[in-house]
Structure 1
């Protein structure tokens, strides 16, 4: 398949989470899920990698997050073990013991230091892990770990819950003339809302990066991507995004003052954006990706707040499902976002179709709008004409299937 070229980087269609130098991965079915889909996976690095992480803002934080925060104290990781099918959240002291036991067992099987292992879980809240199955699965992981397409695919499947598709991306850029790969894998479909969206995401790269710079970049990229998606307005107990940099590409240490920093940051941010949009597109029951672009706000922060309000509106999402060009729902969401807006100068477009100009209705072709909104990707453009702030948020439509899926989530 041909590579897709961009100014600062290239997308590698056949790349995966193991494409950066030093990384391997694998996954298997250990029995936590009722189906035969993989439910236990691991990412490993042949060296101790610089690492960065961000976590959910939900006050009920699952046991694996506590363990991972502890492992991340020195900014280094060598492995991440992940299970799906059970969130190990709101499980008390036993849940904490189980998360620590997962970390210890993974370290022993891989022959690495226990403090260099992160733990992540996703699935049903409030149920204890079946640790007999987990331990048996961890023992089987080393034989399933590799740097090939199959092993990468096995890992990507192991982290899914109600997701319909795997979410993967890999790009190539050049730092100091050295080839650098940045790759990512993620899961997320329901309980998705900014700060962070309910998701697990993992980014690997082989650049040599200053750890503090990596943490700063991860935070900025998260704010612009993962924190700008929503499916249903709920923020999970288990959200986690981890980035690991092996440093094996051979470049000089990256930091904001490095001449190639902007190239690296653009490629890194693109990986996060692709994964975030894939989560929004794969929202439970969704039929289309919805993008909201806000321009002319008093600040970028104000634009973000407005974009999140519009993309999170159940009425807007329902209109998108019904292919209804009901701009009134959009303007109502803009007006209730709690941000400065001049109510007499707002423009709204659905794709390229102008439906509101200067806060006054514009005659438009309803059939053209219907055809546009029936597509699998919809853009809503709002220009507030009040400043230079802008932002983009992503979400999906709200369908009958969303209710069906979540009405029977545990069964």
Structure 2
């Protein structure tokens, strides 16, 4: 049987249109975008064309697009850069307990520098409320960082409502949108964010490339020092090939988001209905409705998620027992722990994430194999 990939929340295959655009750069563009000769300017033109592409896809201006090495770097630059800039007054940061490690650890680094960080708790579905954010604000708050959609359980946060509160108070607002872009429709204006992070490899683009939307007028301190690339905020030779791939991938993801959202929702619900009715003893993690359309995070009673993952791998099926950034760490998910799940339930979790090419027959094969695997693993439990 052909292998099946259900771990698109970790990374996605590069789609053909993106690969074709990147191959042109590999074959025809050898210059450094910072060089003044013709080869360098040809590369620079490619970068600026991709910047315009990305800006148009997001509804921003090209000047507001800053290319980075991925979502983690974008998150770090947004949080550390905003907090450390001397003209951004305030020493208080607000975030949530279910953020990506690149956000939580950046905030922890700021605490060591004397900043105060408020980490908002979430409910059992992984949600915070705009009222929680509002109540956490102080005259010293310089930045709020809330992810648009959770990378593990898929819960979508009320970003627009939070943005409205922060605009009225002139407080900087960052959102990690790495998992949300291309999965749910959104508007920068409606969300009211000042900083937004994207990683190309989550939207059928290349690894090692991302961007940070920086609203006009927002000031950041650089994390690195060197050349003057990317307005001095991200020095280093630009990854022309990756940037071109990101521009194409983001354009296509935003153009197709409504159709993809509807298809994924139908497919995810079909898979969930089969798992519930045919296997049983299963719990849905994350909000039942306010969630990413391609994400299904579940826990099977009495069976460890990692054991299920390894058994499915023998069937040629790839899924995740958590987020890719925590793979190999024998510790319960910090997201599920923050949602009030005891360690034994957190260890039982599986993350199934659909992709652009996932078909219903693929989902049905996964459901069939899951039924076999869960039945087998439960049969090994004494007394079962």
- Please indicate the TM-score interval, normalised by the length of the shorter structure: under 0.3
Where relative contact order (Cα < 8 A, 6+ residues apart) is larger, the structure is 2
TM-score by length of 2: 0.27
Structure (1 or 2) with the greater helix fraction: 2
Of Structure 1 and Structure 2, which has the larger fraction of its residues in strand?
1
TM-score (norm 1): 0.26
